[in-house]
Every structure is written in structure tokens, then in C-alpha cells.
Amino acid sequence: MFTKILIANRGEIACRVIATAKKMGIKTVAVYSDADKEARHVALADEAVHIGPAPSRESYLQAEKIIAACKQTGAQAVHPGYGFLSENEAFAKRCEDEGIAFIGPKAFSIAAMGDKIASKKLALEAKVNTIPGYNDAIAGPEQAVEIAKGIGYPVMIKASAGGGGKGLRVAFNDKEAFEGFASCQNEARNSFGDDRIFIEKFVQEPRHIEIQVLGDSHGNVIYLNERECSIQRRHQKVIEEAPSPFISDATRKAMGEQAVQLAKAVKYQSAGTVEFVVGKDQDFYFLEMNTRLQVEHPVTECITGLDLVELMIRVAAGEKLPLTQADVKRDGWAIECRINAEDPFRNFLPSTGRLVRFAPPEQSMWQGDTAHLQGVRVDTGVQDGGEIPMFYDSMIAKLIVHGRDRNDAIAKMREALNGFVIRGVSSNIPFQAALLAHPKFVTGDFNTGFIAENYGKGFFAEDVPHDDAAFLTAMAAFVRRKSRERAAGMSGQLPGYAVDAGKDYVVVTLDAAGNNRYTPVHVDEFEGETGSAQVKVGASSYVIRSKSRLNDIAITGTVNGKSFTAQVERGTPKNPLALRVQHNGTRIDALVMSPRMAELHKLMPHKAPPDMSRYVLSPMPGLLVDVAVVPGQKVQAGERVAVIEAMKMENVLFAAADGVVGKVLAAKGESLSVDQAIVEFV
């Protein structure tokens, strides 16, 4: 076994590998860029080596620097994590040549699976289902009909040079195939000057389901069940779960066995994932193989009780797999939510900056620990007060839960999200909460088009359903009443001027447009029972009991006998006297006051926000990489004004209307904050 390994990665996956290495008694070496010198993975490792400037192409993608760090520290093996150099055939080969063990598959396996066309041919040879199709030029519509019949309807007729939805038709019968071929050919000729057409099977209501495989250097390969990864936004996975709520045991077995056949065909040694597209009738077809550890590997660890990172290390050290296919368990249900630094209400634009507060929910499962399951686990590479840099991807953490069954896992995840405190940057937690509460997600009735179908026009505050929105009003009143009780109990108050906690309040739910909602609330405390009260909101009554302190953001307790976790904080960016209450993804900003004060508050005029229509504002924090205008320049609506870059994402800003540039307020190369003015028009 190795005595020291180097982790050629950063963030949560580097921390994940370190956790297992420590359990195995193996020393670890971290590598870091300028942006990561204070990062969590650097603090956790036994040694750390600086490998260059912040951009990954100058640091984490520099194979030479990684190899040099191994030699400098005496590391015998490299774990590449995922992303960066993890599927780089040349890097794996270079490690092998230098006598450094690559904790992953052999270079020839990476090469075989890295080429999309070659991997499909290999899959066909290994008798793995691939999407049926006809890839040679088709002579005419009559031949197209014969081919379509052979493949089986429905089929997709596609222009070879197609793109942007042009030259694409779906046919469900002979007539549609005949007409669709002619239409596609004409469209392709006119749009691309290339009328070559091919036909392949159209998978209806497709799901993205992947099989985890594990192989060793002794020829043994097993599959560790499947993961359901169909909840995706722009081809990026958002929620993953294991097992899938869709496939049958027979389909699972058939997919698993085909995945093993493919892995054996490329002499696969390590953890890898075979991805399939699965149709509504459980017909499944090979997509690609990921020759590395996957982001969503923890859900497989939960249901199998295996530490995948440990097994990767053992296989790389030449050991045999310690289990056979018959030993693989499938216990309970696991779900993972990717917690990203992005603003879901601003079209998921990246959000960078300092984590003013970072307090994940309490953990009962840990990385590398397979003894404590049926709980909550947080995989992260950040800590309270840390920085989310603009140079890398937007994932802050992975929140993983393991339940008895799917409903138990969903309930655990919703409660864990309620207690996940992130301040200083925006996160996608409200979006995750909305997805988990969606009736179609709860019943398992979804496919890869789920987010596009349900949130196609964007995500808005009203898209977050709450089964009892009055509870947020009750929580605001409860916290305010407890604060008043404490104030009333302070000694030394002047007679006649002592604080009266009172029982009747009005909760003013604040609205940005000034359409505030005024809700009368009555609060009764229970004699001799601190931290409890009965709150009446209209016809609803809430008995709330909580031992949380007044300055805790995450408040836990029971409401009408059921446990809850909610977030309550004092002061909002616009009103230091307001309370911000969050629960199940829904948020309100509220003032809690006496009935007389509420009457007076209603009379206050609404102060409209300043008119910023003359300015081009930065929609996200990021680096200003280009300003395309100068003072005095005439600009037309739709003309490019500036380019901002953050987290591998480039955002081009365009002029909303015709105008003349008055001032350029930010310089190229400047780091911008959200809503910072870049250009002012006159």
C-alpha cells in the first residue's frame, strides 16, 4: 500500500480523497494555486505544494507541475479527482512512465472511451445496446422509409450538418418519415449547403441513468447499481439519486451486465461510470463512459455501504476487489443536491465573494465512513469566512442524505436544506427546495426535460411552493415575541417605562413594490415553559417550541408536534429592523410591530428605487474582461457593451436601447460586484 499520495485537484473532491487517505493511514499532499492558498483542502493535507497562478490552465492543468510536486514530496501515487486532468490520457501515461501510480484506469482505457465514435464501436462489439441508426448517406425518401421501418418508430431524421433545430424531424409512421426526409433535405440544403441526412432511433421521454462499475488488475469487474441523474439544467446535473425510481430489477440487471461487458472489453481497472439514455418503455442505449470518479459517487456509497475512494486506492495498489457481484448491497435510498454559488432568481448567474456565514446542517454521515449511514452528509471544500473564487466551477458543496425509502430521503433532504446557512454569496438552495417539492419529482415522474418544461422561462420567487405559508408569518411573530420577553425581563427599567412584551402584533410582509401585506397575529406564551408559544394567524394556530437561541440563524424545534428547521435573521440589506424568515425555499422579509404602529406604517409613502435605466449594470460578480464602448460613442440597442467572466462562464452585456455613452465607470481587468455600474448613457 502507498504511504503518500498527491491529490491533483482542489475543492470538495480533494477534501473527500484526504478523508479516506487519513482513514487508511496514508499521508496526503495537496496542490494549490494563488487563489487557493487559504483553501480547506490545503489545511487538511499533510503537505501542500504551490503550483501556479489562479487560472486552472496555469496551475491545475499543468501536468509537469503535478509530476514535479510528486517527485519533490515523494508521493508514490496521484488521485486526479474529477475534472482537470482526471480523464487526460497523456497525463495518466506520463504518471505510468514516471513510476507514479495513477489512481484511476490505465491510459489505454481512457483513450478507448474518450473518443465518442470509437467508444460506440467498442460498445457494439461488446454487445452493449447502442442507439440504432443508419449513418450512411440516404438516397431518397423511399429508402428513408425502409430504414425507419428497420430501426422501429419513432425515429429522428437529422441533417448531417444540422444545428439550432434546423434539419431535424421526428417521425412516428411511414408518412411522416417520407415527408420528414424531404423537408429535412430541403432545409439542410438551404441552411448549410449540405443535404446529407441520417436516421436514428428517437428515445421518448429520455432519462439519464448511469451504472457505477469497479474493476481491478486481476480481471474482476462488478457493477454497484445505478444512479438516476435526469434532473439536469442545461446538461448540468442538479439532483442525483440512487437507486432510480423508474427502472425495474430486470432492467437494472441488464444495464449492469452490459456495463460490465464494456468495462471488461477495455480492461478497465478502477471506478468508472457507464452512462445510458433510457426511454419510457425501459429501452436503454449506451451514451458514453466516464473514466473517473463521478461528482455523485456518494449516493452509491450510501446504498452499497462501500467507500469508492478506498476501493480506487486499493485497486491502484494492485489489490483484488474485496467483493463479488453477489456481495453488492442495495440498502435504502440516497439523494444528492449540488449546492452551487449562483443566483437562481437572476437566471442562475454565478455568485462569487466571501462566505460571511457558512454553516451546513448537522452531519451524521461522513466521507470515508461506511458504518454510519441513514443520515445527512456534507461534502465541501469551503469553510466559514472562506472565499468563492471566480476562476473555478460554482459548486460550494454537495448535500447528501440517506433514508429508509425515497419519501424518507426527500423529507430528510428538505429539512437539511432548511438548515443550510450560506450568506455572502447567493446559492441555488431555493431552487433545490422547489424541485424537491414538485409533485412530479415526488412521484418520480420526470425525464431529462423536467427543468426545461417546468422552469423554461426562468425561476421566480412564486415558483417556490409552500404548503403552509402562514407558518413563516407565525415564525416572525414568535421570534419577535421571544425578543420582547427577554427585553421585558431586564432589570433596572424605569417605572412606567418598562417593556411590555404584549400579545397582539401585526406582521408586515414587505414587498419591493410597496404592496405590503398586514397580518394581525396573537401570541400566547405557556406559563413556566421558556422557548414556547401559541401563535394564531387568522384561522390557523401554531404551537411552537424551540430551544434555539435568539441570535441563531438556523432555528430548530417543533410546530404542532412536528419537527422543523427554519432560518431567521435580523436585518435585511434594505431594512435593518426587518426579520428575514426562510423555510422550504420560501423567504419573507417582515416587520413585526404593535397594531398602532402598523396603522401608522400604512400611511408611510413608498420610496421607489432609483431609476438605473441609464446605466449598464453588472448582473453578477466577476472579472470585466472587455469594455467595447468609449465616451461619446453612439450605441444602438442590442450592441455589445461589455463582457464579464466568472466561474468558466462568459456573459456578454448588450445595450437595452439606443443612446450615447456618457462615462465608462469601470476599467478592463477590474473585479466587479453585482449591480455595479459599468457604463452610463447620457
71 vs 501: which has the higher pLDDT: 71
Whether 116 shows a pLDDT value over 80: the answer reads: no
Confidence of residue 610 (pLDDT cuts 50, 70, 90): confident
Instruction: Report the pLDDT value the prediction gives residue 23, as an integer from 0 to 100.
Output: 97
Q: Are residues 142 and 61 in the same domain?
A: no
Going by pLDDT thresholds of 50, 70 and 90, the confidence category of residue 208 is: very high
Instruction: Establish if 619 belongs to a structural domain.
Output: yes
Mean pLDDT on 25-31: 98
Long-range residue pairs from 318-326, CB within 8 A, at least 24 positions apart, any chain: 318/217, 319/216, 320/216, 320/218, 320/220, 321/214, 321/215, 321/216, 321/218, 321/220, 321/222, 323/222, 324/220, 324/222, 325/222, 325/223
Does one domain contain both 400 and 288? yes
Residue 234 included in any domain? yes
Show which residues are catalytic: 288
Task: Say whether both 215 and 174 belong to one domain.
Answer: no
pLDDT at 346 over 70: yes
* Predicted pLDDT of residue 606: 87
Task: Say if residue 393's pLDDT is above 70.
Answer: yes
Q: Are residues 95 and 177 in the same domain?
A: no
> Are 266 and 385 part of one and the same domain?
yes
**Lowest pLDDT segment from 5-9, 495-499, 514-518:** 495-499
pLDDT of residue 446: 96
If asked whether residues 243 and 385 sit together in one domain, one would say yes
- Mark which of 201, 218, 239 sits at the end of a domain: 201
Residue 39 covered by a domain: yes
Asked if residue 553 belongs to a domain, the reply is yes
Shared domain for 513 and 489, answered yes or no, is yes
pLDDT, tens digit, 9 for 90 and up, residues 284-331: 999 889 999 999 999 999 999 999 999 999 999 999 999 999 999 999
Judged against a pLDDT cut of 90, whether residue 189 lies above it is answered with no
How far, in Å, are 165, 198, 419 from residue 136 at the CA level?
21, 7, 56
Q: What counts of helices (H) and strands (E) characterise the chain? A: 17, 39
Residue pair 227/239 in contact (Cβ under 8 Å)? The answer is no
Does residue 430 belong to any structural domain of this protein? yes
Q: What is the mean pLDDT of residues 648-663?
A: 88
pLDDT of residue 474: 97
Q: Is the model's pLDDT at 590 over the cut of 70?
A: yes
What is the CATH number for 643?
Answer: 2.40.50.100
Residue 83 lies in a domain: yes
The total number of residues written for the chain in this structure:
682
pLDDT tops 80 at residue 162: no
17 and 161 both lie in a single domain: no
Average the pLDDT over each of 200-204, 291-295, 554-558 and give the range with the smallest value: 200-204
Burial of 3 (0-12, 13-18, 19+ CB in 10 A): exposed
Same domain, 61 and 188: no
Domain count, the chain: 5
| Domain assignment present for 374 | yes
Residue 163 has pLDDT above 80, yes or no: no
Q: What percent of the chain has pLDDT over 70?
A: 99
221 and 312 both lie in a single domain: yes
Residue 55 scores a pLDDT above 80: yes
Residues spanned by the domain of 46:
4-103
φ and ψ at residue 194, rounded to 5 degrees? -145, 115
Q: How much is the pLDDT for 438?
A: 95
What 342-347 contacts at long range (C-beta under 8 Å, 24+ apart), as own/partner pairs, is 342/394, 342/426, 342/427, 342/428, 343/426, 343/620, 343/674, 344/426, 344/428, 344/430, 344/431, 344/459, 345/426, 345/430, 345/459, 345/460, 345/461, 346/426, 346/619, 346/620, 347/458, 347/459
Residue 45 lies in a domain: yes
The identity of residue 101, as a single letter, is A
Query: Do 592 and 628 reside in the same domain of the chain?
Result: no
Q: Mean pLDDT across the stretch 366-386?
A: 94
Segment 19-37 mean pLDDT: 97
Min mean pLDDT across 104-118, 245-259, 623-637 is at 104-118
Residue 194: predicted pLDDT: 79
Judge if 88 and 163 occupy the same domain: no
Whether 164 shows a pLDDT value over 70: the answer reads: no
Mean confidence (pLDDT) of the chain? 93
What is the sign of the dihedral through the CA atoms of 204, 293, 62 and 57? positive
Among 147, 174, 201, the domain-final residue is 201
pLDDT band at 198 (very low <50, low <70, confident <90, very high): confident
CB neighbours of residue 346 within 10 Å: 16
